[in-house]
Structure 1
Amino acid sequence: MPEGRVAVVIEDEPDIRALLAEVLEEAGFDVHTAGTGLDGIELVRRVDPVVTTLDVSMPGMDGFETAKRIRAFSSTYLLMLTARSEEIDALLGLQSGADDYVIKPFRPRELRARVEAMMRRPRSVRAETSAAGVSRSADGSGWLDHRGLRAHPEMRMATADDAPVELTRSEFEILIELLDAGQRVISKADLALVLRGERGMPSDFVSDHDARAIEVHVANLRRKLGDSSARPRWIETVRGVGYRLTT
């Protein structure tokens, strides 16, 4: 088993919990399971998994609150699971710090593909305060800058008007793509492929729920930046296409 491939499954239904554990074990993970949110939080704290699957609808502490508490101390990749009738809950789960979601009933191949795609992203959660720097285009320092919105891809740091901004992995990757593209429009499909580690693949590989997840990530990014979709300072929507930096 590759070093560091530890996973935690938090699921209250025993049959689904066993299936998730089996799928992840076949993918080469050392799997630990929990039946409640509280037990799952302590398990994540104890074993420090690289991947955690988390059910949205659990008795007691639900998946949203569990995700928030886990994200407060762990950089584990969080994959939310939700019933088809609760897909909107999965999108809300992205606001709680989840990296991606899968709709029940899921196919084992899809679950494995999403886990592997998540693991191709840097395992970093917080964007911290930058050191003094200037735009990458100005002096080659690596900083990207747009009207006071700055980010450094390698150092995983971002600031808005010199104030630190805390971003999830997905939000940070989207910010970097937009800053790097300048005035060029980036489609939702292209952003979804970037987050899945499949840059350059045909856009028909992107599902509707991937596109909706991008909308939620961008909405969360704007909220953290204090930006407005109606009167954007930094990120504007190109209806029917995607997003770009403001002119």
Structure 2
Amino acid sequence: MKPKILVVEDEPTLAEVLCDYLAASGFDAHSLADGNQVIAWVQQHQPAAVTLDVMLPGKDGFQLLKEIRQFSQVPVLMISARVDEIDRLLGLELHADDYICKPFSAREVVARIKTVLRRQQQMAEIPAPATTFILDRERLCVRLREQEQTLTQVEFELLACLMARPGRIVSRSHLMDTIYPDRRIVSDRTIDSHVKKLRKKLALLQPETELIGSIYGAGYKFDDSALSR
């Protein structure tokens, strides 16, 4: 079965060219022009990758990426004519897998998609060590070896978000958006309190090990290398 690629682009000519190049490269390419249609399509079809224009009718690309990351780690390549540094950093902060600036060649986009998919495949082929935490969403718990700890919904989402990016700093603002998708107003202290409680539970599974590190002024990161100590 051909890998399915979703092209989200409101310029018809550009979307058609990208889809043609992707099809010629062995992909099953689909395009959408309205941001309001994207989330339902991704949930239903589960594409191998998404190219996501920033400026769209309906929801913009950054909002869509934020919503996608609440339920999927599908590779997302942001495409935009807005090349200023703030937009670029925001795209990476929301955990885009790549950021492509217009104008570009369709061949370049196809090459970058192949690179992202190849990198994802290589990561999937790395066997998980015996000390890896296993998250059980249905039971809201985390297991290590023969032990397990029950988590609250907030603690579970917090740990899942950090574990999805081992060794990488995750900002408090991103954690807040992940834990509270309704965008309720919470302070940094709220996140700090949840992290403190989560650390205590993880310490019962892996004593004398700081699995969640604090990075002053930046956020938190999950130290997966500490599991093997």
TM-score bracket relative to the smaller structure: 0.5 to 0.7
Provide closer, same or farther for how the CA distance between residues 87 and 21 of structure 1 changes in structure 2, counting only shifts above 3 A. farther
1:228 corresponds to 2:207: no
Superposed, 1:11-160 pairs within 5 Å as: 11-122=9-120, 129=135, 131-132=143-144
Structure 2 alignment gaps of length 5 or more: 125-132, 136-141, 146-154, 176-211
Provide closer, same or farther for how the CA distance between residues 77 and 234 of structure 1 changes in structure 2, counting only shifts above 3 A. closer
Deviation at 1:4, TM superposition (A): 4.5
Structure 1 alignment gaps of length 5 or more: 134-159, 176-217, 236-244
Q: Is the 8 A contact 2:21 2:106 kept in 1?
A: yes
Matched with 2:192 is none
Secondary structure of 1:40 counterpart:
helix
Using the aligned pairs only, state the percent identity.
35
Tell me the alpha carbon deviations over residues 124-176 of structure 1, each in whole angstroms, 9 at most, x when there is no partner: 99x8645335xxxxxxxxxxxxxxxxxxxxxxxxxx9xx8241486x33xx2x
Q: Is the 8 A contact 1:50 1:76 kept in 2?
A: yes
Provide closer, same or farther for how the CA distance between residues 234 and 54 of structure 1 changes in structure 2, counting only shifts above 3 A. closer
**Count of aligned pairs:** 161
Query: Which of these two proteins has the greater Rg computed from alpha carbons?
Result: 2
Cα RMSD of the aligned pairs, angstroms, is 3.6
Matched with 2:159 is 164
TM-score (norm 2): 0.57
